[in-house]
Amino acid sequence: MTRIAIVQKAPAFLDRMASLGIAVEAVAEAAAGGARLVVLPEAFIPGYPAWIWRLRPGADMALSERLHRALVENAVDLSKDDLAPIRDAAREHRVTVVCGINERDGRFSRGSLYNTVVTLGPDGSVLNRHRKLMPTNPERMVWGQGDATGLRSVDSACGRIGALICWENYMPLVRYALYAQGLDLYIAPTYDNGDRWIATLQHIAREAGCWVVGSGVAFRASDIRSAAPGLSELYPDADEWVNAGDSAVVAPGGAIVAGPLRNEQGLLYADIDRERIDNARRALDVTGHYARPDLFSLRVNNGPLDPVSFDAPTHP
């Protein structure tokens, strides 16, 4: 058995350093609770830009531009080691950390942002960086499209792990690209929530025969209202739960073993037993005995890794 922890807490919206501080404290708390793997939500640093779902086209253009500038200024540049505090925390507590960030690649563009999930090893190294392939609806006004260079799995104390962000998990070929790498834990940081999303996590656990970790964004209006001028008008009810979170852990085969943590902030723990993976795949192994390579094939153009930003093992 190996313990994991999902951090379902609000960041300090539009404040990179304060959000990093919250993440460092959460890693320490999870490690004290026995976790070997700590998962933080989508775009946690410096927060998911939830305002995009409330801004009015045209009428709120000035506010939209002001919020985007603040997001760019507080985004994470891996080439500048902006994640150093979390890397240090991973090293100090000897845990693997998966964290969602707003990424800014300052070497090539000052304005483009990416919705990125980063995997840090227990030595503090950046094992992988995956940029969301297809931002959803108004997200396309915030983030650029990622590519497949980070569509990879890495080894951890809990087994081989891979991550897809939010609605990437509805893309069958993308899921299969991870399945084919022999995943033990499938991690899904997301802004989505609700019963349909939980059903999606259960479907993936059945389909892949692996553990599925859904890491949700949960915050009240009071957590975001003071982040920038104009947000209090978008979120007039300070007590409103803007997003429910619904973090959950699903066992191979589809049984929910932890969560969903709904309209609540905190840490959600689960103990992972890798033997359950073998039991699930005995009946259904979609990349093994239940595949038909004589009929179907999948080619992924994942290109060379970027050695400047991160180091990662190479897989076929």
Mean of pLDDT values over 232-253: 96
Count how many Cα atoms sit within 13 Å of the Cα of residue 54 in the half-sphere of its side chain. Answer: 15
| Whole-number Å distance between alpha carbons of 29 and 121 | 17
Domain 2-283 fold: Nitrilase/N-carbamoyl-D-aminoacid amidohydrolase (3.60.110)
C-alpha 206 chain-centroid distance: 20
Higher per-residue pLDDT: 164 or 55: 164
pLDDT at 307: 37
| Whole-number Å distance between alpha carbons of 82 and 65 | 24
Which residue is it, tokens 């799995």?
153
Give SS3 for 137: helix
| Whole-number Å distance between alpha carbons of 148 and 152 | 8
pLDDT at 108: 67
Q: How far apart are the first and last CA of the chain?
A: 29
pLDDT at 311: 38
Q: Where are the domains of the chain?
A: 2-283
Retrieve residue 291's tokens: 């595949």
Give SS3 for 139: helix
pTM: 0.92
Residue tagged active-site, from 99, 158, 166, 210: 166
Higher per-residue pLDDT: 71 or 307: 71
What band does 109 get if pLDDT is binned at 50, 70 and 90? low
pLDDT at 315: 37
- Catalytic: 132? yes
| Whole-number Å distance between alpha carbons of 18 and 208 | 37
Residue tagged active-site, from 42, 103, 139, 168: 42
Mean of pLDDT values over 7-11: 98
- Catalytic: 166? yes
Dump pLDDT digits (tens) for 37-58. 999 999 999 999 999 999 988 8
Residue type, 30: A
| Whole-number Å distance between alpha carbons of 165 and 174 | 11
Is 153 a residue whose pLDDT tops 80?
yes
Helix axes 172-179, 195-208, angle to 10 degrees: 40
| Whole-number Å distance between alpha carbons of 146 and 131 | 5
Residue tagged active-site, from 132, 139, 158, 168: 132
Is 301 a residue whose pLDDT tops 90?
no
Q: Is the peptide bond before 138 cis (omega within 30 degrees of 0)?
A: no
Higher per-residue pLDDT: 316 or 303: 303
| Whole-number Å distance between alpha carbons of 30 and 32 | 5
Dump pLDDT digits (tens) for 171-217. 999 999 999 999 999 999 999 999 999 999 999 999 999 999 999 99
Is 227 a residue whose pLDDT tops 50?
yes
- Residue of 19, 64, 109 lying closest to 229 (CA atoms): 64
Phi/psi for 26 (5° steps) reads -65, -40
